[in-house]
C-alpha cells in the first residue's frame, strides 16, 4: 500500500484542528515535538488504497524564527520528509492568509491550498474564484468547510491525485527589480551547471533573502567566490530601489503586494450594510469603558470555577489517598517500607493527582476562550498596560491562575507563543501567592495583627506580591531579556461556536500530559523529601523517649513527650541539618534555625511550613493555622519585624517541588529552574531584608 505524509500548515485560527477532525474520525496521536513543549498532532487513515498520515504543524503567521511555533514549523518544512503541503487559509480573510502561502510557495514543494470556512465567507458576501486563484499561485485551490464537512472528499481526492503528477513549480512572482536579480543568479548557476538539492530559482531567492543555512552551505563550495560579487550587486540594486537595507521588510512588502494582487483578481465582495455577528459582539466586549470589566468578570468566574468546583473532587482524591496510605501502613506496617510507600510515594503522587480537577477546569475555560475567538480580544485589551512591564496581554491568565496554584498557572503560560514573553511570565508567576501559602499568611496575620485585621493584611500581601511581580518582570525585560521587541501579530478572528469534540480532546490530552510530566518527577522528589525527613535514624533517642512515655500515665504528658521526640528527630534529620547549614544565610533576616528548617521543608509544599513549625515548637504535626497554641508560640518566640521578613520571604521564594518541575518542563530546560532558584532567592532575600529593617524602624 502506498503511503503519503501530509504537512498541514496554516496561520492561527484558520480551523486546522477542526479540519483534521473533519477529514478523519481516526484517533488523534498527540505528543510534543522533540526538545520543545510545542504540541504535535498526527492522524493516520486509509483513503482510496493510500495510507495517509497528516502532521498538523503549529499555527504560524510566517516562516520566521520569532516564536517557538514558527521555528518548529519552519524546521519541519525545511528538514523533514513529507510528500505534500496542505495550506489551510481562512476564506473570510484571504489577503492576510496568503502572506504565509507565498512563503510556502518558495519552498518549491507540492502544495494544495484549502480555502476553509467557505460557509462563513458566503454569509459575509465573499465570493472566491478558486480556479483563477489556483492559476495565479500555480497550485490547486479547493473550497472546504470544516464545520459542515463540505469539500472534504474533494480535498482528499486532490491530495491523492497530486502524488501521481510531477510538480511544475509555483507561479510566485515578484516586482521587476527582484525578478531581474533572481534571473541573473539563475543564469549564472545554469552557466556553471551547479548541482544542488533545490531548483535554481528557489536557491536564488534564498540567497537574496540572506537565508543563513543556504549561505553556510554554499560558503564552502568553489562556486562561492564567483557568486558572492553577483549577490552583492543584486542586494545593492534592491537597497537603492527600496531605499532600505532591511531585506525582511523588502520581501514582506513583495509578498504582501503579491497577496493583494491575487485577492483583487479572484475575490469579489457583495456589499452588506448591516453589522455582522462579530462586529455586534465586539461593540460590547471591546467597549472602551466596559471591555475590561467584562473580561475581569469572565476571569473571576473561571477562577472561581477552577478552585471552588475543583476543590470538591480535590477533597475526594485527597481522602482516597489518605485511606490508601493508611491501608498500605496496615499491610506493610509502620516501618521504613510502609512509611516510604505511604508517606513518600503515595503521598507525593496523590499531591500531584489532586491538582487534576483544577487543571481540567482551567484548560476547559482557556479552550473555550481560544476556540470562540475571545482570547485575542483579551490580548488586545490588556497588551497596552502589560507591555509597560515587559509582559504580553495573554500573560494575565497564567498570572491570575497563579493565585490559586502555580502548577496549572505554569501550564497556562503555553498560550504565549513568543519565547521571551513566555519565559518572563513563567519567572514571575511565583510572585502571585498560591493557595498553599495562605495557611502561613493566616497563621502570622492572626498572631501579629489579630483576627479583626487579618483580612486586610491578607489583601495587602496578595496585592504587594502582584505589584512586586510586575516590577520584577520589567527588570527581567531590561536586564535579562533585553533587546528589541520581536514583532507580534495580534489577530481578531471571528467569533465561532466552540467544537466540543475539539475542546474535549484539548482538555483530555493536556491533562494526560500533565500527569505524565509532573507525576514521574514528583515521585522522585517525594522519595527524596521523605528520606531527608526520616533519616538518619536516632535509635538511642527513640529508646530514651519510649521508656519515658511508658512510665507516663497521663495521656496529655504522653502526647507532649511524643511531640518532643518528633521535634528532636526532625532537628537531627538531614532536613534539619540542611536548615541549620543555611541558617547563616538567613541570620541577617532575623530567622532562627526553626524558621530556616520550615523554609527548607516548604520547598516540598508551602502548606508544610505550618506543620513543620508545629513539630519544631513541640506541638505535633497535626496543627493548622488556627491552632491557638501555635499562634501563641509564634507570637512569643518571633519578633514582629522578623515575622514581616518571614512573610515576605514565603511570598517570593522558589515554589513547591510540583510547580518547580512543571516550570522546568514548560520553560524547556532545567537550567531555567536554576535561574529561577537564584532569581527568586535573591529577590526574596533583598525584599525580606528591607522589610525587616523598615518594620524595626516603624516599631
The pLDDT tens digits for 533-566 are 777 877 777 777 777 777 776 777 777 777 677 7
CB 114 within 8 A of CB 19: yes
Asked if residue 370 belongs to a domain, the reply is yes
- To 5 degrees, how large is the angle CA 623–CA 624–CA 627? 75
Return the higher-pLDDT residue of 557 and 145: 145
Structural domain boundaries, residue 236: 176-242
Residue 231: how many CA atoms within 13 Å on its side-chain side? Answer: 21
> Which residue is associated with the grid cell 497521663?
554
- Residue-wise pLDDT for 296-318, tens only, equals 787 777 766 766 777 788 778 87
Distance of CA 658 to the CA centre of its chain: 16
Per-residue pLDDT reduced to its tens digit, 250-285? 888 888 888 888 888 898 887 655 566 677 787 787
Structure confidence by residue, pLDDT tens digits, 336-384:
777 777 766 776 667 567 667 876 776 787 778 777 777 767 767 777 7
What pLDDT was estimated at residue 680?
92
Q: How many domains does the chain have?
A: 4
Same domain? For 138 and 222 the reply is: no
Question: Cα angle vertex 613, ends 606, 448, to 5°?
Answer: 90
**What value does the CA radius of gyration of the chain take, rounded to a whole number of Å?**
31
Per-residue pLDDT band for 676 (boundaries 50, 70, 90) equals: very high
Q: Considering 163, 196, 220, which residue would you say is the last residue of a domain?
A: 163
- Among residues 535, 654, 676, the alpha carbon closest in space to that of 606 is found at 654
Whether 415 is covered by a domain: the verdict is yes
3, exposed or middle or buried, with CB in 10 Å at 0-12, 13-18, 19+? Answer: exposed
The CATH number covering residue 56 comes to 3.40.50.300
* Alpha-carbon torsion (56, 59, 64, 65), positive or negative: negative
Closest CA to 105 of 161, 163, 169: 169
Three-state secondary-structure class, residue 148: coil
158 and 58 within one domain: yes
- How confident is the model at residue 28, as a pLDDT? 59
Question: pLDDT tens-digit profile of 203-222?
Answer: 888 888 888 888 888 888 88
Is 356 in the same domain as 212?
Answer: no
**Residue 408 pLDDT grade (very low, low, confident, very high; cuts 50, 70, 90):** confident
Kindly state the percentage of the chain with pLDDT values over 90.
12
**How far is Cα 203 from Cα 207, in angstroms, rounded to an integer?**
6
User: What cell numbers appear for 284 in the block?
Assistant: 460590547
Mean pLDDT lowest among 183-192, 568-577, 662-671, 682-691: 568-577
Count CB neighbours of 537 within 10 A.
12
Nearest-angstrom CA–CA distance, 612 and 175: 72
Q: Do 156 and 181 fall within a single domain? A: no
Classify the phi-psi angles of 243: left when phi > 0, otherwise alpha if psi is within -120 to 50, otherwise beta: left
Confidence of residue 488 (pLDDT cuts 50, 70, 90): very low
First to last CA, the chain: 83
Contact between 579 and 588 under an 8 Å Cβ cutoff? The reply is no
Instruction: Give the 3-state secondary structure of residue 428.
Output: helix
Residues 127 and 206 in one domain: no
The x, y and z cell numbers of residue 105, run together, are: 510557495
H helices then E strands: how many in the chain?
34, 9
Distance from C-alpha of 668 to C-alpha of 658, rounded to nearest angstrom: 16
The closest alpha carbon to 535, from 326, 329, 339, 346, belongs to 339
182 in a structural domain: yes
* pLDDT for residue 626: 57
pLDDT at site 123 = 82
Query: Which of 185, 172, 184, 176 shows the shortest CA–CA distance to 242?
Result: 176
In the prediction, which pLDDT does 603 show? 82
Q: Which cell is 203 given?
A: 536557491
Asked whether residue 62 falls in the same domain as residue 182, the answer is no
Q: Which of 163, 197, 225 is the last residue of a domain?
A: 163
Residues in contact with 522: Cβ distance below 8 Å, sequence separation at least 6, in sequence order: 348, 349, 351, 352, 657, 658, 661
Q: How far is CA 88 from the centre of its chain?
A: 25
DSSP for residue 159: H
Single out the residue in 103, 132, 163 at which a domain terminates: 163
| Residue 516 within any structural domain of the chain | no
Q: Is residue 157 part of a domain?
A: yes
Phi and psi based region of residue 690 (left: phi greater than 0; alpha: psi -120 to 50; beta: remaining): alpha
Residues 502 and 570 in one domain: no
Q: Is 400 part of a structural domain of the chain?
A: yes
pLDDT at 682: 93
- Cell triple for 400: 491570575
* Cis peptide bond N-terminal to 536, omega within 30: yes
User: Is the Cβ–Cβ distance between 475 and 686 less than 8 Å?
Assistant: no
Judged by phi (left if over 0) then psi (alpha if -120 to 50, else beta), residue 504 lies in alpha
Which residues are paired to 52 by β-bridges? 4, 45
Q: Read off the pLDDT of each residue in 628-657 and give the average, rounded to a whole number.
A: 85
- Note whether residue 257 is domain-resident: no
Tell whether 181 and 306 lie within a shared domain: no
The answer to whether residues 76 and 49 belong to one domain is: yes
Distance of CA 457 to the CA centre of its chain: 32
Question: Is the pLDDT score of 113 beyond 90?
Answer: yes
Mean pLDDT of the chain: 79
Q: Is residue 480 part of a domain?
A: yes
Exposed/middle/buried for residue 684 (C-beta within 10 Å: 0-12, 13-18, 19+): buried
Residues 74 and 141 in one domain: yes
Let me know whether 151 and 211 are in one domain.
no
On whether both 401 and 459 belong to a single domain, the answer is: yes
Q: Out of 247-251, 413-417, 690-694, pick the least confident.
A: 413-417
Amino acid at each position: 500500500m502506498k503511503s503519503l505524509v501530509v504537512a498541514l500548515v496554516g496561520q492561527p485560527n484558520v480551523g486546522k484542528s477542526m479540519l483534521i477532525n473533519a477529514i478523519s474520525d481516526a484517533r488523534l496521536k498527540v505528543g510534543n515535538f522533540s526538545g520543545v513543549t510545542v504540541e504535535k498532532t498526527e492522524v493516520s487513515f486509509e483513503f482510496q488504497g493510500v495510507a495517509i498520515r497528516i502532521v498538523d504543524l503549529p499555527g504560524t503567521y510566517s516562516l520566521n524564527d520569532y516564536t517557538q511555533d514558527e521555528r518548529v514549523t519552519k524546521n519541519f518544512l525545511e528538514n523533514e520528509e513529507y510528500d505534500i503541503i496542505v495550506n489551510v487559509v481562512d476564506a473570510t480573510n484571504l489577503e492576510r492568509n496568503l502572506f504565509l502561502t507565498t512563503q510556502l510557495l518558495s519552498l518549491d514543494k507540492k502544495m494544495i491550498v484549502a480555502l476553509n470556512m467557505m460557509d462563513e465567507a458566503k454569509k459575509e458576501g465573499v465570493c472566491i474564484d478558486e480556479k483563477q486563484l489556483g492559476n495565479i499561485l500555480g497550485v490547486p485551490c479547493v473550497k472546504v468547510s470544516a464545520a459542515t464537512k463540505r469539500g472534504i472528499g474533494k480535498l482528499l481526492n486532490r491530495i491523492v491525485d497530486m502524488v501521481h503528477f510531477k510538480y511544475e513549480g509555483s507561479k510566485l512572482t515578484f516586482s521587476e527589480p527582484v525578478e531581474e536579480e533572481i534571473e541573473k543568479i539563475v543564469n549564472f548557476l545554469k552557466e556553471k551547471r551547479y548541482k544542488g538539492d533545490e531548483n535554481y530559482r528557489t536557491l536564488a531567492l534564498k540567497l537574496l533573502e540572506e537565508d543563513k543555512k543556504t549561505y553556510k552551505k554554499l560558503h564552502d563550495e568553489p562556486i562561492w567566490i564567483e557568486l558572492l560579487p553577483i549577490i552583492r550587486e543584486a542586494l545593492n540594486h534592491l537597497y537603492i530601489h527600496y531605499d532600505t537595507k532591511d531585506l525582511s521588510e523588502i520581501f514582506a512588502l513583495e509578498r504582501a503586494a503579491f497577496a493583494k494582487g491575487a485577492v483583487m483578481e479572484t475575490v469579489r465582495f457583495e456589499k452588506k450594510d448591516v453589522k455582522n455577528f462579530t462586529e455586534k459582539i465586539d461593540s460590547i466586549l471591546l467597549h472602551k469603558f466596559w471591555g475590561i470589566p467584562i473580561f475581569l468578570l469572565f476571569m473571576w468566574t473561571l477562577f472561581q470555577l477552577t478552585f471552588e468546583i475543583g476543590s470538591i473532587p480535590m477533597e475526594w482524591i485527597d481522602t482516597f489517598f489518605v485511606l490508601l496510605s493508611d491501608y498500605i501502613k496496615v499491610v506493610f506496617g509502620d516501618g521504613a517500607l510502609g512509611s516510604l510507600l505511604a508517606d513518600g510515594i503515595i503521598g507525593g503522587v496523590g499531591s500531584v493527582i489532586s491538582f487534576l480537577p483544577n487543571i481540567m477546569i482551567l484548560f476547559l475555560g482557556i479552550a473555550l476562550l481560544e476556540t470562540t475567538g475571545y482570547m485575542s480580544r483579551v490580548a488586545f485589551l490588556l497588551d497596552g498596560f502589560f507591555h509597560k512591564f515587559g509582559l504580553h496581554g495573554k500573560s494575565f491568565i497564567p498570572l491570575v491562575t497563579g493565585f490559586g496554584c502555580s502548577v496549572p498557572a505554569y501550564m497556562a503560560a503555553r498560550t504565549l507563543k513568543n519565547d521571551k514573553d513566555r519565559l518572563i511570565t513563567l519567572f514571575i508567576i511565583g510572585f502571585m501567592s498560591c493557595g498553599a501559602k495562605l495557611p502561613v499568611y493566616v497563621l502570622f496575620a492572626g498572631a501579629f495583627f489579630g483576627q479583626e485585621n487579618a483580612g486586610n493584611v491578607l489583601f495587602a500581601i496578595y496585592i504587594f506580591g502582584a505589584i512586586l511581580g510586575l516590577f520584577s518582570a520589567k527588570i527581567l525585560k531590561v536586564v535579562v531579556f533585553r533587546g528589541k521587541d520581536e514583532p507580534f501579530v495580534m489577530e481578531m478572528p471571528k467569533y465561532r461556536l466552540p467544537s466540543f469534540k475539539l475542546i474535549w480532546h484539548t482538555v483530555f490530552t493536556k491533562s494526560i500530559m500533565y500527569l505524565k510530566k509532573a507525576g514521574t518527577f514528583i515521585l522522585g522528589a517525594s522519595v527524596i523529601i521523605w528520606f531527608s525527613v526520616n533519616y538518619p535514624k536516632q535509635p538511642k533517642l527513640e529508646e530514651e523517649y519510649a521508656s519515658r512515655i511508658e512510665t507516663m500515665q497521663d495521656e496529655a504528658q504522653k502526647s507532649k513527650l511524643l511531640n518532643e521526640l518528633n521535634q528532636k528527630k526532625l532537628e537531627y534529620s538531614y532536613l534539619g541539618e540542611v536548615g541549620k547549614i543555611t541558617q547563616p544565610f538567613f541570620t541577617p533576616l532575623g530567622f532562627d534555625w526553626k524558621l530556616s528548617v520550615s523554609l527548607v521543608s516548604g520547598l516540598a509544599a508551602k502548606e508544610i511550613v505550618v506543620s513543620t513549625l508545629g513539630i519544631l515548637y513541640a506541638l505535633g504535626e497535626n496543627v493548622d493555622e488556627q491552632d491557638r497554641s501555635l499562634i501563641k508560640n509564634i507570637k512569643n518566640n518571633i519578633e514582629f519585624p522578623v515575622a514581616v521578613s518571614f512573610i515576605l520571604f514565603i511570598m517570593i521564594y522558589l515554589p513547591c517541588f510540583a510547580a518547580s518541575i512543571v516550570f522546568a518542563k514548560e520553560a524547556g530546560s532545567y537550567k531555567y529552574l536554576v535561574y529561577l532558584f537564584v532569581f527568586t532567592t535573591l529577590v526574596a532575600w533583598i525584599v525580606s531584608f528591607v522589610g525587616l529593617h523598615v518594620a524595626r524602624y516603624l516599631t
